[in-house]
Structure 1
């Protein structure tokens, strides 16, 4: 078998039917995640009188399940196929969404959260991998950015719908909506045609191996997103508490995420094309700088204008960085290893966002909110150095970046 037979021809058009369908599938998955993560701690407390630790476990159990799934999904796609992996995980994602309606104990809730996280981790890894084969090589970063916009929409819409539904109709209405959205996501996944996974040039089919759980070439850049995710988790976990301490109303504080989502969508017109044209370092260094400045603004300007400026900077500093580094992770490996590289990347992201609130929460009694955010500004500057050592010093701009 010739190498040409093992390598699918790259697409020439970005906005294809399959690209739109896989982005919609990602939107429905992410929407369920953000619908539930916003309300889960309160649900555990209200329904099962959970302690702070156990209510936190009800939230983080999902992340734990997702991390476990990402360890094996990269190789599962190679072993049993992308389409089969996606359809099985999306079917189980639908089942897990419906199981919330049957939960009658805190232990069962945590078990469902872990199962739900496993299905989410598997499905999201498949779509994030498959979409790379739907993007023209010369528009890699731009296409990855537009694909990530589906998550951005869910980030803004999910918490808003969760608050409205639980306040007016109770938690069951939220679980019903999640089940319906999961069903639509399954239909969308069934309609999309996933490009075949590329094979090595010798035509061999890689077998399962514990040594291949992580993609070693993708680990350095994935470490950068782990550290960046840890920093941004300080916003996700503690912004509301910080706003309350400063006398900022919840409504005003929620504007942070609205501004974040709007600016992030607009950034897709700039960051992705710039990345494809000028290379990795020309984009990643400014984005990391934006994240560092955002943390400093939160620390030093604890008022509504400061929050909104920080939201703009976070949209560039973390939101745009997330998809830019994902495209980098996809270009440091040959095409047949993109699945494991994507799995490695999102595994590291999950670890950063999952561990961040625990580590930062333990520091809060000493630093306070302002001190924590100021410390995170310095931490992100350190991460800039990590990026240089891990990837930046070797990054070279190539037209249509990546292994083709």
Structure 2
């Protein structure tokens, strides 16, 4: 690959595999609460666990996957995890108890976390340093596409054909991702003796990368805010409007359009102008979106909120990750990637639980004001650990470590 060339066969194939992995995640996470209630007569807590067990599994394996990525080998880890994930997804057709179903979700999430970590780390090595933010934006757009179409496919297929069809579609997407592997050449990294000793060390401190954690805290706080949007927006909007149906789908349609458009362009701005020029507006727009949801949850209010959230949170995921990888260096890309994605998973997985308790006491409007406060806190954290230093200048320039 030439130093400045981004689009090549390997990057394109990796992008395609990421799309289908994203479809698997969003297809299932959208429908699992309803399935658990219908199939197993699960209560609210149990149904929620059936949905979040996947994320919990991913959280459990990401640190270890990042730590051992270059010991096991990127291609070997990706192939093994995708193959086993497709096999485990067959269990959805046969399990007949709720706890076996939750266990299947947990194991599926663990394998997804391994594969997703390996694929994202390899993709970072496929992106030229001078186009780090731009390439990260393009790659993350694959998940944006999945987040927009996955829930739509899930709802439509369940309404028309039932959950068995949904599981079949999910398995089909898993197999398509597997079929892309023979066409993908992943860059492998040779470890020095010291790096190998560190990777094999039982010391828990070797599971987390500091640079990944610094930007990870940013995305954890913002992910927690977005988890409240995912979990409670439909109910809040329906209650606020008094309508039989919630206008919340318009939010997610607007979110997908804005996020996809922003991710295809904002990375180039970050590479050219620096991190602060991009990051602070993203914090502001996402916080404004949460305030709109709190105080103007009407049809047009949610359309505008979706556009702002798509630009803000949708872009922040990739822009913060590009900073983490750049400041840590490619020799630590596996651990940095797993640490960052772990923080995102924790925010998405636990945010709705913690903030949901607040909603039960103070109501949904206060909940979304608290989300804006979390975003403001993440901006302060960003300034303290990155934004105030010279390395927050141009992305392609060597920064302060």
TM-score strictly above 0.5: yes
In the aligned structure 2, how far is the partner of 1:351 from the partner of 1:363? 18
What's the CA shift for 1:204?
Answer: 6.2
Relative to 1, partners in 2 of residues 1:202 and 1:47: Cα closer, same or farther, differing over 3 Å? closer
Residue of structure 1 in register with 2:396 after alignment? 400
- CA distance in 1 between counterparts of 2:325 and 2:293 reads 33
Question: 1:252: how far off?
Answer: 3.0
Correspondences of 1:284-363 after superposition (within 5 Å): 284-363=279-358
Partners of 1:249 and 1:198 lie apart in 2 by 59
Tell me how far apart the structure 1 counterparts of residues 306 and 95 of structure 2 sit (CA, whole Å): 36
Aligned to 1:6: none
Separation in 1, partners of 2:314, 2:35: 28
1:218 maps to which of 212, 216, 226: 212
Residue 211 (structure 1) shift: 2.5
Give structure 1 stretches of 5+ with no counterpart: 1-8
TM-score, normalised with respect to structure 2: 0.94
Name the structure 2 match of 1:82.
74
In the alignment, what sits opposite 2:151?
Answer: 159
Aligned: 1:168 with 2:160: yes
Q: Given that residues 11 and 133 in structure 1 are in contact (C-alpha distance below 8 angstroms), is that contact kept between their aligned partners in structure 2?
A: no
| CA spacing shift, 1:207–1:369, aligned 2, 3 Å | closer
- Equivalent residue, structure 2, for 1:3: none
Cα distance change on mapping 1:363 and 1:197 into 2, 3 Å: same
> Per-residue CA shift, 1:80-112, capped at 9, x if unaligned?
100000000000111122211111110110010
In structure 2, the residue matched to 1:5 is: none
Instruction: Give the structure 1 partner of residue 130 of structure 2.
Output: 138
User: For 1:204 and 1:64, how far apart are their aligned partners in 2?
Assistant: 28
1:240 and 2:234 aligned? yes
Distance in 2, matches of 1:72 and 1:204, equals: 14
Task: For 1:138 and 1:307, locate their aligned partners in 2 and report how far apart those are by CA, in whole Å.
Answer: 37
Distance of 2:344 and 2:256 partners within structure 1: 19
Tell me if the contact between 1:38 and 1:162 (Cα under 8 Å) persists in the aligned partners: yes
Tell me the TM-score normalized by structure 1.
Answer: 0.94
* 1:137/1:402 contact within 8 Å kept: no
- Give the Cα–Cα distance (whole angstroms) in 2 for the partners of residues 249 and 264 of structure 1: 28
- DSSP 3-state at the match of 1:195: coil
Judge which range, 71-80 or 32-41, deviates more: 71-80
State the shift of 1:301 in Å. Answer: 0.9
Task: Quote the residue 1:197 is aligned against.
Answer: 189
Residue in 1 that maps onto 2:56: 64
CA distance in 1, matches of 2:58, 2:235: 26
Where do 1:83-102 residues align within 5 Å? 83-102=75-94
C-alpha separation in 1, matches of 2:199 and 2:230: 39
Give secondary structure in 2 for the equivalent of 1:332.
helix
Q: 1:277 aligns with which of 272, 277, 291?
A: 272
CA 1:141–1:198 in structure 2 vs 1: closer, same or farther (change >3 Å)? Answer: farther
Give the aligned partner of residue 39 of structure 2.
47
CA deviation vs aligned residue, 1:179-209 (integer Å, no higher than 9, x gap): 1110011111332111122645988675322
1:221 & 1:299 partners in 2: Cα distance?
Answer: 27
Structure 2, unaligned runs of 5 or more: none
CA-to-partner distance for each residue in 1:288-337, whole Å, 9 max, x for gaps?
A: 11111111111121211110100011011101000000111101212111
Distance of 2:318 and 2:190 partners within structure 1: 22
Asked if 1 retains the 8 angstrom alpha-carbon contact of 2:238 and 2:247, the reply is no
Is the counterpart of residue 118 in structure 1 residue 110 in structure 2? yes
How many Å separate the matches in 2 of 1:201 and 1:392? 35
Shift of residue 11, structure 1, vs aligned partner: 4.1
Give CA-to-partner distance per residue, 1:227-260, whole Å, 9 cap, x none: 1101111101111111111235546321211111
Partner of 2:365 in structure 1?
370
8 A Cα contact 1:31 1:155, kept in partner: yes
